[in-house]
C-alpha cells in the first residue's frame, strides 16, 4: 500500500497530485489535534459544572455532563479519521 502511495505521489503523467487531497489529509490532522487540545478544556468545564452546589436540582445533568467530553472527543477524532481517509484514498486512486 505504501509503495502504491509513493508511486501515485511521484507520478508526472497527469501533472502530479491534486492539492485538494493533501488539504483533506491536513484538515484531518487538524481535526484530531483540535480534539486533543480541546479535551482538557471541556473536562475542566464539566468539573466546574459538576462541583456546583445546585447540581442536584437538575435531573440528569450530572450523567449527561460527565459523558459530554467523551462524545466531543470521539466526534473530533472520527471527523479527522474520515477526512484523512478520503484524502489518502483519493491520492492512492489518483483522483
Give the SS3 label for residue 43.
helix
One digit per residue, the tens of pLDDT, for the chain of length 95 reads 666 666 655 555 555 667 888 898 999 999 999 999 999 999 999 999 888 888 778 888 888 888 999 999 999 999 999 999 998 888 888 76
* pTM of the entire predicted model: 0.72
For 57, what's the count of Cα atoms within 13 Å in the CB-facing half-sphere?
A: 3
Question: Running DSSP on this structure, what letter comes out for residue 8?
Answer: H
Q: Which pLDDT score, from 0 to 100, does residue 57 have?
A: 82
Q: Would you state the pLDDT for residue 62? A: 85
Sign of CA dihedral 21, 25, 30, 36: positive
pLDDT at 51: 87
Domain ranges, residue 81: 2-93
Q: What's the rounded Cα separation, in Å, for the pair 59 and 67?
A: 15
Q: Per the structure, how many domains does the chain have?
A: 1
The helix-helix angle for 2-10 and 61-93 (nearest 10°) equals 60
Amino acid at each position: 500500500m505504501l509503495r502504491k502511495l509513493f508511486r501515485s505521489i511521484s507520478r508526472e503523467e497527469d501533472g502530479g497530485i491534486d492539492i485538494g487531497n493533501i488539504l483533506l489529509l491536513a484538515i484531518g490532522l487538524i481535526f484530531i489535534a483540535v480534539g486533543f487540545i480541546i479535551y482538557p478544556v471541556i473536562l475542566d468545564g464539566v468539573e466546574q459544572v459538576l462541583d456546583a452546589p445546585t447540581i442536584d436540582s437538575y435531573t440528569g445533568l450530572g450523567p449527561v455532563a460527565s459523558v459530554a467530553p467523551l462524545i466531543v472527543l470521539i466526534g473530533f477524532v472520527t471527523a479527522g479519521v474520515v477526512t484523512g481517509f478520503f484524502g489518502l484514498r483519493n491520492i492512492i486512486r489518483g483522483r
